Amino acid sequence: MRQHISFYVGDTLHTLSNLPPEMTLLDWLRDQQNRAGTKEGCNEGDCGACTVLVGRLEQGALVWRAVNACIHMVWMLDGAQLLTVEDVRGADGQLHPVQQAMVDEHGSQCGFCTPGFVMSMVALSTRADLAELEGTLDGERIINEALAGNLCRCTGYAPIVRAMKKAAAYCAEHGEPISARTPELTARLRGLQDGKTVELRSPEGRVTLPASVDALASAYAQDPAAVLVAGGTDVGLWVTKRLRQLPHIIAVRTAQDLHKVHTRPDGALWIGAGVTYTEAMPHLVAHLPAAADTLRRIGSTQVRNAATVCGNIGNASPIGDGPPIFMAAGAQLHLRCGPEHRVVPLEAFFLEYGKQDIRPGEFIEGVLIPPLAQGSVCGVYKVSKRFDQDISAVLGAFVLLLAEDGTIEQARLAYGGMAGIPCRAKKAEAALVGQARTQATLLAAQAAIKEDFTPLSDMRASAWYRATVAANLLARLFDTGATGNPSNSQTLENWQEVAHG
Ligand SMILES: Cc1cc2nc3c(=O)[nH]c(=O)nc-3n(C[C@H](O)[C@H](O)[C@H](O)COP(=O)(O)OP(=O)(O)OC[C@H]3O[C@@H](n4cnc5c(N)ncnc54)[C@H](O)[C@@H]3O)c2cc1C
Ligand code: FES
Ligand code: FES
């Protein structure tokens, strides 16, 4: 057991033992370290003004991730290398290529957002495959995704995107200054990894950083009143917006055995509770191709770099994007309490608004998503006011299993935003099963959806809008639903013929 955390900020090693559990990285940087280059804008993960770079060893290799300092807690840095805008520079006292490109392309006016943009751009310029991406369509998409979590209200994005392209081209040819330090930074981070559980105590409370899932289970069983924090992208807002104090935090992501994400021999995808959306993304996209576009729209790069897939389930939000997708795919949740394990279908976990099937001291170990059966047709559609960085008004996730003759054998229709919990549209499913895929079937299922749900009106959408959109998304599935199983293109062709016929 260790009683302090250690991390580097720039080239300075910090060792801390006395820390209020919920202290945010942004407050610590600005108030205690005089690193005021990292700005406070929204203080809720939305604007990116506070973006910093966290370097960690992932499978032995140094990986940089941009995160929002305003909702990142200081203890999360144990064993890491932090870089703020004050640490960014080029070789021989020159500007970093990103900074130089921002100057050249006039990428800054009032400058408030600029440090945050620069950090997101530096994170992107450390990507090893930058040279291959340059000028490609994928490169364009990656730049837009990297900047979607940074808001600028005066310069406009065109000069900033131009600066990013220029910096990327420069770094692809001449190298990126931070990446040039990889061997040295990797070696010093290795020196910080001791695999120990950490217990931090201060007058304000304590933080437990369990090194393993067993240590986490034991700590939580001993104090079920403690708050579990994984990526903190939800819990961070309890602190910054509701000003909550958290006298005992138990970290989830420090348990190394919760970081597994892999496809099992039976084709099911396992995502451990420590796995972020960024880490899970390639696996999820391969497993559920129809969900790819929606998954990329969860939060922003900074949010997905911290947010875990299981935290998205654990928060039980009625408008979380992951749960309806996984529910439609038939996912199962693996829970653990002390030494006891149990497995529940994901849909049975959500009981009613604010109430889940979880006991004191019990936590999510991971989620298991079975492979889509051959003959499946899938559609996942997120409807929100903005394309990027917005919470869904309605999300529909659909998996239909088709018989050889195209009849619908099974239907799983899951929605977010339609009730107090993410849930299935059972009446609409019943209207589809056993039916041919005709306009009459669609109309019957759309009518049934109106019986399945009595949605609420709120600032995101009116009840009428939600009910109408939920029915229309089913029409979209009939029009554009894609096969979840590439070996089943014949079924897809049939599906499209009938849907358009
Ligand atoms: C700017 C911004 C944009 C966002 N956009 C989206 C979006 O587009 N779509 C979306 O769905 N969400 C969005 N979110 C919400 C959030 O990012 C996700 O819900 C995220 O997946 C939560 O994961 P986390 O690891 O950060 O959870 P945390 O904040 O660490 O925890 C969330 C809750 O789950 C509990 N918990 C965490 N891990 C476990 C576990 N293993 N077992 C039991 N309970 C656990 C915690 O105690 C807490 O109650 C956004 C958040 C922000 C700040
Ligand atoms: S201050 Fe806006 S994202 Fe942190
Ligand atoms: S330069 Fe003013 S907000 Fe971006």
DSSP, res 31 = I
Interstrand relation of 198-202 and 81-83 (parallel, antiparallel or unpaired): unpaired
Q: Name the residue of 46, 112, 161 to mutate for ligand 3: max ligand atoms within 8 A of Cβ.
A: 112
Structural domain ending residue among the three candidates 218, 251, 284: 251
Same domain, 133 and 264: no
Q: Ligand 3, residue 113: give the atom nearest the CA.
A: 4
Q: Ligand 1, residue 229: give the atom nearest the CA.
A: 30
Q: How many CA atoms lie within 13 A of 203 on its CB side?
A: 0
List the one residue out of 406, 409, 410, 374 whose CA is nearest residue 494. Answer: 406
**Each residue's pLDDT tens digit, 165-223:** 999 999 988 999 999 999 999 999 999 999 999 999 999 999 999 999 999 999 999 99
**Each residue's pLDDT tens digit, 87-96:** 999 988 899 9
Same domain, 328 and 437: no
Q: What is the CATH number of the domain that holds 309?
A: 3.30.465.10
CA distances from 158 to 163, 338, 384, 402 (A): 9, 53, 24, 46
Structural domain ending residue among the three candidates 197, 222, 251: 251
Three-class DSSP labels, 273-295: CCCEHHHHHHHHHHHCHHHHHHH
Same domain, 246 and 260: no
- Angle in degrees, 0-180, between the axes of helices 157-174 and 97-104, rounded to the nearest 10: 140
Ligand 2, CB cutoff 6 Å, lining residues: 40-43, 45-50, 68, 70
Residue 470 and residue 445 in contact, taking contact as beta carbons nearer than 8 Å: no
Number of domains composing the chain: 4
Ligand sitting nearest the alpha carbon of 110: 3
Same domain, 70 and 114: no
Going from the Cα of 90 to the center of ligand 3, the distance in angstroms, rounded, reads 23
Q: What is the CATH number of the domain that holds 484?
A: 3.30.390.50
Over range 420-425, report the average pLDDT. Answer: 96
Rounded Cα gap, residues 235 and 90, in angstroms = 36
Burial of 303 (0-12, 13-18, 19+ CB in 10 A): buried
Q: How many CB atoms lie within 10 A of CB 136?
A: 10
Q: What is the CATH number of the domain that holds 203?
A: 3.10.20.30
Ligand 3, CB cutoff 6 Å, lining residues: 108-114, 152-155
Residue with tokens 């013929």: 497
Same domain, 333 and 285: yes
Same domain, 216 and 72: yes
H helix and E strand count, the chain? 19, 21
Residue nearest to atom 3 of ligand 2 (CA): 45
Q: How many CB atoms lie within 10 A of CB 435?
A: 16
Structural domain ending residue among the three candidates 213, 236, 251: 251
Q: Model confidence at 374, in pLDDT bands (50, 70, 90)? A: confident
For residue 497, the model assigns a pLDDT of 46
Interstrand relation of 269-272 and 261-263 (parallel, antiparallel or unpaired): antiparallel
Quick check: 492 pLDDT over 70? no
Ligand 1, CB cutoff 6 Å, lining residues: 44-46, 71, 227-235, 252, 273, 298-299, 303, 306-308, 310-312, 314-315, 320-322, 363-364, 391
For residue 130, the model assigns a pLDDT of 72
Going from the Cα of 267 to the center of ligand 1, the distance in angstroms, rounded, reads 26
**Each residue's pLDDT tens digit, 110-130:** 999 999 999 999 999 998 777
Q: Model confidence at 489, in pLDDT bands (50, 70, 90)? A: very low
Same domain, 271 and 326: yes
For residue 498, the model assigns a pLDDT of 43
Going from the Cα of 390 to the center of ligand 2, the distance in angstroms, rounded, reads 15
Residue nearest to atom 21 of ligand 1 (CA): 312
Same domain, 385 and 438: yes
For residue 330, the model assigns a pLDDT of 97
- Angle in degrees, 0-180, between the axes of helices 137-147 and 157-174, rounded to the nearest 10: 120
Ligand sitting nearest the alpha carbon of 354: 1
Domain residues for 352? 256-369
Q: What average pLDDT does the chain have?
A: 93
Quick check: 490 pLDDT over 50? no
**Each residue's pLDDT tens digit, 283-326:** 999 999 999 999 999 999 999 999 999 999 999 999 999 999 99
Quick check: 488 pLDDT over 50? no
Going from the Cα of 191 to the center of ligand 3, the distance in angstroms, rounded, reads 39
Same domain, 195 and 78: yes
List the one residue out of 341, 332, 348 whose CA is nearest residue 362. Answer: 341
Going from the Cα of 149 to the center of ligand 3, the distance in angstroms, rounded, reads 14
Q: Return the biggest CA–CA distance within the chain.
A: 71
CA Rg value for the chain? 24
Looking at the DSSP assignment, which residues form a beta bridge with residue 345?
332
**Each residue's pLDDT tens digit, 401-414:** 999 888 999 999 99
Looking at the DSSP assignment, which residues form a beta bridge with residue 241?
none
Q: What is the CATH number of the domain that holds 129?
A: 1.10.150.120
Same domain, 279 and 325: yes
Going from the Cα of 275 to the center of ligand 1, the distance in angstroms, rounded, reads 12
Same domain, 41 and 55: yes
Same domain, 236 and 263: no
